[in-house]
Structure 1
Amino acid sequence: MPAIRPPFTLETATAKVRAAEDAWNSRDPDRVSLAYTDDSVWRNRDQFVRGRAQIRKFLTSKWDKELNYRLTKALWSFTDDRIAVRFQYEYHNPEGQWFRAYGNELWEFDNEGLMQRREASINDVAIEEVDRKFHWPAPGARPNVDARIPNVE
């Protein structure tokens, strides 16, 4: 599959978001890290991460604690080299408590289509297992789930 590069159109921005969703649902830190520049800068909640090596370390730690992770992303807006995304994901911790995380990401890309900056704001809400919405096997393709599900319930 050829790289999706700026300038983005509605079609390519949507494809970029879906490709990111698929990669993150693989829960493979090596695969995910390849979408970022070698010196990519992240703000993820209260953590600051720089470069692929730190991204891999961050994601390995994340998925060691966030078990049965399933993510949906939806395009919010885009410009030539930036994309804004709204997302939700569910996971449980090692103690078995389920959570649904709601958030927004701001992405900035280089000319090759690699993400050079990622700003993520995320809030976790404890849920009961019976209240889960995302039940498909992950990693793998998901059914048509819309990340625009209202986050006020």
Structure 2
Amino acid sequence: MLSVSETVAIDAPLSDVFAYMDDPHNQAEITPSLSDVRSVEDRGDDGKRLDYTYTMAGVSLDGTLETTTYEPESRVVFDMVEGPLSGELTWEFETTDDGTRVTYSASYELPSSVLEAVVRPFAERYNERELETALQNLKTRLESA
């Protein structure tokens, strides 16, 4: 299992940060390797279901995410329910004196055990940078709005 987590402080109200991240299309705007978000189904209090394309090491991976935990302005967990990746993505939101703290975590299995053994160190560094960049892009978009 590959697990990475990053946190960023954003100088914007929690409600604004959560509203921005509650639209899955915005995740594609801030996450460099998330090239497409489509077929978004809003399930109200149960969150969302959507299809995505994520590119890792030049390979495009298509899949489906479904919300398993949806606590507005607090925590959202997506399960990778279809596609070559299995695992979950977690967004946590917390009010601070200066705005909002956002933690983005990803835990998932790579498509094959051989691939995992060969690329695990690369994939960990790659995904740490990916999460850090996504959070910095979120911070930039919301603090400059």
TM range (shorter): 0.3 to 0.5
TM-score, normalized by length of structure 1? 0.34
Which has the larger share of strand? 2
More relative contact order, 1 or 2 (CA 8 Å, 6+ apart): 2
Which has the larger share of helix? 2
